[in-house]
Structure 1
Amino acid sequence: MAQLGGQGQQIIILPEGTERLLGRDAQRMNIMAGKALAETIRTTLGPKGMDKMLVDGLGDIVVTNDGVTILKEMDIEHPAAKMLVEVAKTQEDEVGDGTTTAVIIAGELLKKAEDLLEMEIHPTVISMGYRKAAIKAQEILDRIAIDASDRDTLLSIAMTAMTGKGTEKARKPLAELIVKAVQMVEEDGYVDKDHININRIQGATVEESQIVNGVVVDKGRLDPSMPKKVENAKIALLKYPIEVKSLETDAKIKLTDPSQMAAFIEQEENMIRDMVDKVIASGANVLFCQKGIDDLAQHYLAREGILAVKRVRKSDIERLEKATGARVATNLEDLQPEDLGIAGQVYEKKIFDEILLFVEDCVDPKAVSIILRGSTKHVAEEVERAVDDAIGVVAATVEDGKVVAGGGAPEIAIAKELKDYADTISGREQLAIAAFAAALEVVPKTLAENAGLDSIDALVDLRAAHEKSAYMGLNVFTGDVTDMRKAGVIEPKRVKKQAIQSAAEAAEMILRIDDMIASTRTPMPEGGMEGMGGMPGGMPPMM
């Protein structure tokens, strides 16, 4: 709203009801939201992190300590907090692990920035300092990273990722499955995680999980008279439906004689029979169709001893293609014998209360399935999340061949060198770089707190140990500072690289906001933007 000249006439710029926060008020509100979000998931970090129970409006329960799952399930309203959720999602998509680390580093960067703002340091100066520190941190990370992608390293990586995620007692057998699966689907140094299908089934212990040398499809055969098991399977993959297409336009057929009706039905049957004949002519004895299969076609297929499945998901068709070497036929006319895939056996099996179709004994399959078991639905879900994280980190290690020590070692090493780097920078940016270094120490500090250890003592011991080696980290089980490489606690370099980069960029973006305008169409929390709160201390509503 503004006044025109000396007339005192008001000019309305924004519609009535629009709420606005300016300058320090906007910065303080955004920083508060970021800190609150980071504090929410901070207790889940590390092998001794606690779990969260999330209950939605329908009463469905999720019990997890996976950072990105918690943030996705929470009903977050504050726009700045949503930006930090994006950090976690990016971390999940890029690496598959380290989501909690990324968010708590971002929260700590905002917390340190708040202290600098109180010292009258301009947000742009802080942002520039953070940017320089992030670039320097990546250089340090590259220097302290270790070249390793052998099988023992991959097993250690997988077990580190699953520690503290409900898979404790079955870490080793699960790690074996994960490493084997990743190595099987790896092509030319690249791992497509979508080619590893996880089938979660409750009703048994985690140790009974298994890897399938091929693909598992969560569907059964169409007709009980079809064979339950096919040896030396020749597999056809079809996108085309085996049924008579319905007309897209309205049409009427006038029949004047019962024989015409019989001829009409016979013609339809002949069309379906002709389609089935094309499948038979190709030599296929197993058929996976992405679309529908007519009841009559099912009868003909069963009579020929062909095991058929309809409405198979596109992702399953793609995995079958990679596992069996089949080529997807988009039209029945195109289905040729050379398009068929090969598998040692295809069979139907019931596990717990689910009927599954196993396509096994494939030659050098580039898509595999893992059957995950868990005593209850919630246990199986948490095991799946842990395995999904572990697949991500093992894949990142196979692709990059670079690892770093765990237990807070890289954060302490980077913080140590950043403090020295800050001394070489003149001006107020030096304070921002030093604040960035201090913020990184939140990771080992949180690991210590979650393990019931004294965080100050742990940090002092870690800093002293890093005068001799950059691989010294905190063993949360004993409380000692040990060489994490020798202890087998290692992580992919990509996890730390992405976490630090994403956290720095998110913090920088939030700090540069000095004006928040909420339109009347934006549903505001009770109390408006002024409080954007409702939680103690003005904390933004998140659930």
Structure 2
Amino acid sequence: MHGAPVIVLNQNVKREQGRKVQLGNVTAAKTIADVIRTCLGPRAMLKMLMDPMGGIVMTNDGNAILREIMVEHPAAKSMIEIARTQDEEVGDGTTSVIILAGEMLSVAAPFLEQQVHPTIIISAYRRAMDDLVTVLRDQISVKVDINNKEEMVKIVKSCLGTKFIKKWMDLACQIALEATSTVAIEENGRREIDIKRYAKVEKIPGGAIEESKVLRGVMINKDVTHPKMKRRIENPRILLLDCSLEYKKGESQTNIELTREEDFVRILQLEEEYVQNICAEIIRLKPTLVITEKGVSDLAQHYLVKAGISVIRRVRKSDNNRIARACGGTIVNRTDELKDEDIGTGCGLFYIEKFGDEYFTFLVECKDPKACTILLRGASKDILMEIERNLQDAMNVARNVMVDARLVPGGGAVEMALSHSLSEKAKSIKGVDQWPYKAVCTALEVIPRTLIQNCGANTIRTLTALRARHAGDGNVTWGVDGETGNIVDMKDFGIWEPYSVKVQTYKTAIETAILLLRIDDIVSGTKRQQGGDDAGGAAGGAPMASEGPEP
């Protein structure tokens, strides 16, 4: 009974093996890279994406584009996954990582056609990746002083130069740096910067982009619960709650059957006493503002208004955590456990302002806020969405530099320098491994080549001139000016990128190429559509992008 396993394939199962699958994966990766290719550099084109609900997105952010594209091919799906990984890990370089991964696979295709075994290509790629990281850290990267404001502004500017927001570059740099340094915390010698959770972006259509600013505190889309409550308090004593200020129902399904009228009166009385009691516990600490994540009953509002306390209810948990960080308060779960040190006193001003039809609560002028809100104004929702995406990238760049204070030259200079130094190393490699190793050098050149193509310069002439520059000693900072396509020294030009973003880009791109080269069999149990061979099939063929016909 314990013989070889039997694989039963029914008629709907499609199976493809060997070279065909590997070359199919290469084609899929190239197709995805081609969709994104025009989105690299300062002269990047925008893509207009339509989602199934009819909404539109206009962006040149690689990750945002790939999130909207629908693909069937499994290799194309893993390409889209790496853009997401890159975005979560370092928040920038999503376009570069896709282009590089596509090119790494593309240069492997000739070897596969010449019957070179994928394991040989993979071992050469692995070796190239290790050498690449060593060269990048020891020879190319430079340390940077993160306390030098001018240096930091230059770094963030190089990130924003390729984005829609570059017209308001100075304002955006200031916002990104201010927000990132506000939420930075030193703990046990480690610096923790959680932008996602504590630097919230609030978008309010209307007004000019120049009116955007970082608030030293928190802003939420709420109003006080009762019209008689104060809407402006200086130096408020803030109490943060995670419990409802209304009569507590039974935890499980509770039914009470009453036969006498007195019992009903007694139950109402109990309810009133309970609410009065929890309000008394709050009033005892003399707060001037109570913020709770749950509801507040009319009766509780009545008691708190009499005590001159303003109340904001049903605040999101994430907002409440931000308020706690900004004003120094503690979120309390039960009113009978309230202590005086739970009150937040770090906020300078509480006020409510109306924008359009909605009311917004501001808790600003905090003494030492470890959370902040970025208020964005702009003409329309679409513009604000794109500005937010750009700002997120800028804040991530600032965060990466603050965590690992090393920089590498931008504008394709670092790729050319790595390509040159790896091709020198390749000369010492014996055997067949030398050729896939050299192919990695060729693949790295795709970044400067794409930059030159996107600004309409002569690709071959510029790339040859750039290679010649890098052949000289110590010329690692020469790259491409993405606006004009000329060759410039990045040291003078002032375009630098965070080391951590680049390392992550190369590692992810090469690892993905290795992973896809190891696949030699795709088995799919999905039914093929009627009417011939469709492009979204289980294995061969390029992926179908939702943008229309295949690129």
Deviation string, structure 1 residues 260-304 (Cα, Å, up to 9, x no partner) = 333322221221121111111122111121122222222322232
Query: Which has the higher mean CA deviation after the structures are superposed, 46-55 or 142-151?
Result: 142-151
Q: 1:524 to 1:283 in 2, by over 3 A?
A: farther
| Aligned AA (1:160) | S
Distance 1:93 1:137 in 2: 23
The question of 1:325 aligning with 2:328 is answered: yes
* Matched residue SS, 2:192: coil
- Determine which of 196, 199, 202 is the counterpart of 1:196: 199
Deviation of residue 527 (structure 1)?
A: 6.8
Q: Identity of paired residues, percent? A: 36
Does the 8 Å contact 2:258/2:264 carry over to 1? no
Aligned to 1:181: 179
The question of 1:151 aligning with 2:154 is answered: no
Does the 8 Å contact 2:218/2:322 carry over to 1? yes
* Matched residue SS, 1:100: helix
Normalization by structure 2: what TM-score?
Answer: 0.92
- Determine which of 170, 173, 185 is the counterpart of 2:168: 170
Deviation of residue 514 (structure 1)?
A: 0.2
Aligned to 1:112: 107
Aligned to 1:464: 468
Q: 1:243 to 1:433 in 2, by over 3 A?
A: same
Does the 8 Å contact 2:42/2:161 carry over to 1? yes
Does the 8 Å contact 2:142/2:408 carry over to 1? yes
| Aligned AA (2:193) | V
| Aligned AA (2:293) | Q
The question of 1:494 aligning with 2:500 is answered: yes
* Matched residue SS, 2:86: helix
Does the 8 Å contact 1:227/1:307 carry over to 2? yes
Unaligned residue ranges in structure 1 (runs of 5+):
none
Aligned to 2:286: 283
Deviation of residue 217 (structure 1)?
A: 1.5
| Aligned AA (1:337) | D
| Aligned AA (1:225) | K
Aligned to 1:516: 522
Aligned to 1:141: 136
* Matched residue SS, 1:20: strand
Deviation string, structure 1 residues 477-535 (Cα, Å, up to 9, x no partner) = 23321121222211101111001000101110000000001124xx666779874369x
| Aligned AA (1:447) | L
* Matched residue SS, 1:190: strand
Deviation string, structure 1 residues 87-142 (Cα, Å, up to 9, x no partner) = 11111111111000001000001100112212221111111111111111111111
Deviation of residue 11 (structure 1)?
A: 6.3
Aligned to 1:263: 266
The question of 1:312 aligning with 2:315 is answered: yes
The question of 1:65 aligning with 2:60 is answered: yes
- Determine which of 481, 484, 491 is the counterpart of 2:490: 484
* Matched residue SS, 1:54: strand
Does the 8 Å contact 1:113/1:126 carry over to 2? yes
Aligned to 1:431: 435
Does the 8 Å contact 1:167/1:206 carry over to 2? no
Does the 8 Å contact 1:209/1:373 carry over to 2? yes
Does the 8 Å contact 2:198/2:371 carry over to 1? yes
The question of 1:123 aligning with 2:121 is answered: no
Distance 1:527 1:382 in 2: 40
* Matched residue SS, 2:376: strand
Query: Which has the higher mean CA deviation after the structures are superposed, 113-122 or 382-391?
Result: 113-122
Distance 1:327 1:428 in 2: 64
Aligned to 1:455: 459
Deviation of residue 177 (structure 1)?
A: 1.4
The question of 1:446 aligning with 2:450 is answered: yes
Q: 1:2-401 maps to which residues of 2 (within 5 A)?
A: 13-142=8-137, 143-148=139-144, 149=146, 150-188=148-186, 189-193=191-195, 194-247=197-250, 248-257=252-261, 259-342=262-345, 343-401=347-405
Deviation string, structure 1 residues 155-184 (Cα, Å, up to 9, x no partner) = 112222222321121111110111111112
Distance 2:7 2:468 in 1: 61
| Aligned AA (1:332) | T
Deviation of residue 432 (structure 1)?
A: 1.0
Distance 2:213 2:532 in 1: 52
Query: What is the alpha-carbon root mean square deviation over aligned residues?
Result: 2.1
Does the 8 Å contact 1:283/1:337 carry over to 2? no
Aligned to 2:549: none
| Aligned AA (1:367) | A
The question of 1:407 aligning with 2:411 is answered: yes
Does the 8 Å contact 1:525/1:532 carry over to 2? no
Distance 1:190 1:253 in 2: 55
Q: 1:130 to 1:352 in 2, by over 3 A?
A: farther
Where do 4+ consecutive residues of structure 1 move more than 6 Å? 525-530
Q: How many residue pairs were aligned? A: 531
| Aligned AA (1:190) | E
Distance 2:6 2:535 in 1: 27
Distance 1:11 1:337 in 2: 71
* Matched residue SS, 1:30: helix
Aligned to 1:473: 479
Q: 1:530 to 1:518 in 2, by over 3 A?
A: farther
Unaligned residue ranges in structure 2 (runs of 5+):
547-551
Distance 1:494 1:254 in 2: 68
* Matched residue SS, 1:404: strand
Distance 1:115 1:13 in 2: 34
Does the 8 Å contact 1:222/1:308 carry over to 2? yes
Normalization by structure 1: what TM-score?
Answer: 0.94
| Aligned AA (2:423) | K
* Matched residue SS, 2:237: strand
Does the 8 Å contact 2:71/2:536 carry over to 1? no
Does the 8 Å contact 1:404/1:492 carry over to 2? yes
* Matched residue SS, 1:412: helix
Distance 2:530 2:220 in 1: 47
Distance 2:27 2:55 in 1: 30
Q: 1:409 to 1:282 in 2, by over 3 A?
A: same
* Matched residue SS, 2:522: strand
Q: 1:298 to 1:123 in 2, by over 3 A?
A: same
